[in-house]
């Protein structure tokens, strides 16, 4: 008998709950894995368990209706769900050491990190793989809006974008081919999240109207980044410094680099009689440069901490410079035509040049490189030129 076990990352949200139902309907034996990032957070664990149970209950009712000649009165004797289908992992300590620590360190350096990019390969998908291996399950799954593809020329499995406003391929660019090979993304076929919600409504899922999770999952609603960083690291001393212009002239005083990001206009606490934006943050000199919007547009960027799917490392794939590439400089940015201008293998620094200048390329954010819809890899922005 074919092994159809699959381990799905389950959170209790509408995406993962609907994904569970879709996988069941495709014939998979679904195990839901919930990993906790907050010590003692029993509420979210119960939500995740309840979501998996709802998906199984809905599937069981559909199976009963299909097999019973009088489905309103007859109940199927088969039970599909059991408690062993739900797997709990306490990842709170390693999440703190890997994801939260990186987040705080980057912000203190005046950078703007994306914690999901760190979490996905180092926590979420690693735990999914380990759990699947322990269960002898060939497959893993999540509720991400993206798809997987296989290229026989390079013998590599890639993450690919989908035509959807919810496309989340950018967040998955650091996954290695051996993980993608086992990955099934049941929401890849949906261009509109409302279609996913409609499935949830039709099946009476409690998550059907649940709002999307907040941008930073480990920061409580109403709490800002600065307060979180102070609480996380009590030794953190936020040092005030100078706002300057591009010529180095002092314009005023800032409240510490952690409060700012490239492209920011609001909340600067300084009035110059005309709109100004943050165009540079200099950790070494503790300065924040202000300028016009036009100064935010740059054509080239240095990228570090590289990862490419084909090589599974920072090594550049052989044919990448011959391809017609596009790149994204943040999750919400459109893809734009780009080329590999230079690669310093010793330093691990890639120079990417865009055909048209890009706005506010921010240190710490990820630059992700696409060949058509396929993600080749990327890295963290070090500096724009």
Residues serving a catalytic function are: 119, 217
> How many CB atoms are closer than 10 A to CB 40?
9
The structure tokens listed for 150 are 């296989």
Of residues 284, 281, 245, 306, the one with CA closest to residue 384? 281
Strand partners, 86: 32
What is d(CA 328, CA 362) in angstroms, rounded to the nearest whole number?
12
Is-contact 123 115, C-beta < 8 A?
Answer: no
Of residues 223, 336, 334, 359, the one with CA closest to residue 278? 359
Q: What share of the chain is helix, strand, coil (3-state, %, to 5)?
A: 30, 30, 40
DSSP 8-class letter at 185: -
> How many CB atoms are closer than 10 A to CB 74?
12
Degrees (nearest 5) of the Cα angle 360, 352, 315? Answer: 125
What is d(CA 183, CA 128) in angstroms, rounded to the nearest whole number?
10
Q: What is the DSSP string of 74-122?
A: ---S-----GGGEEEEE-HHHHIIIIIHHHHHHHHTT----HHHHHIII
DSSP 8-class letter at 211: P
> How many CB atoms are closer than 10 A to CB 258?
22
């Amino acid at each position: 008998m074919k092994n159809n076990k699959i381990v799905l990352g389950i959170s209790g949200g509408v995406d993962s709950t609907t994904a569970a139902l879709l996988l069941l309907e495709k014939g998979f034996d679904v195990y839901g894995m919930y990993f906790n990032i907050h010590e003692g957070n029993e509420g979210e664990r119960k939500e995740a368990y309840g979501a998996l149970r709802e998906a199984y209950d809905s599937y069981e009712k559909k199976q009963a209706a299909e097999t019973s000649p009088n489905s309103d009165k007859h109940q199927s004797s088969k039970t599909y769900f059991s408690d062993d289908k739900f797997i709990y992992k306490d990842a709170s300590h390693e999440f703190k050491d890997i994801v939260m620590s990186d987040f705080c360190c980057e912000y203190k350096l005046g950078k703007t990190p994306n914690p999901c990019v760190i979490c996905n390969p180092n926590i979420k998908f690693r735990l999914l793989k380990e759990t699947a291996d322990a269960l002898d399950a060939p497959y893993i799954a999540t509720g991400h809006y993206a798809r997987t593809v296989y290229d026989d020329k390079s013998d590599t499995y890639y993450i690919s974008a989908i035509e959807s406003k919810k496309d989340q391929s950018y967040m998955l660019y650091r996954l290695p081919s051996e993980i993608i090979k086992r990955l099934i993304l049941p929401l890849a076929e949906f261009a509109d999240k409302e279609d996913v919600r409609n499935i949830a409504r039709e099946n009476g899922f409690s998550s059907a109207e649940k709002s999307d999770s907040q941008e930073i999952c480990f920061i409580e609603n109403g709490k800002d980044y600065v307060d979180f960083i102070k609480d996380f690291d009590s030794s953190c001393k936020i040092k005030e410094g100078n706002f300057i212009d591009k010529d180095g002239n002092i314009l005023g005083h800032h409240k510490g680099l952690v409060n700012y990001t490239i492209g920011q206009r609001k909340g600067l606490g300084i009035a110059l009689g005309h709109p100004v934006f943050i165009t540079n943050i200099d950790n070494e000199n503790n300065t924040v440069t202000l300028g016009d919007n036009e100064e935010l547009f740059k054509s080239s960027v240095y990228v570090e901490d590289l990862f490419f799917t084909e090589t599974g490392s920072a090594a550049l794939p052989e044919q990448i410079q011959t391809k017609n590439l596009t790149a994204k400089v943040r999750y919400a940015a459109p893809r734009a035509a780009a080329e590999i201008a230079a690669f310093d293998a010793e330093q691990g620094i890639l120079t990417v040049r865009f055909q048209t200048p890009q706005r506010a390329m921010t240190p710490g954010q990820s630059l992700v490189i696409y060949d058509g819809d396929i993600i080749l890899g990327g890295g963290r922005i070090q500096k724009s030129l």
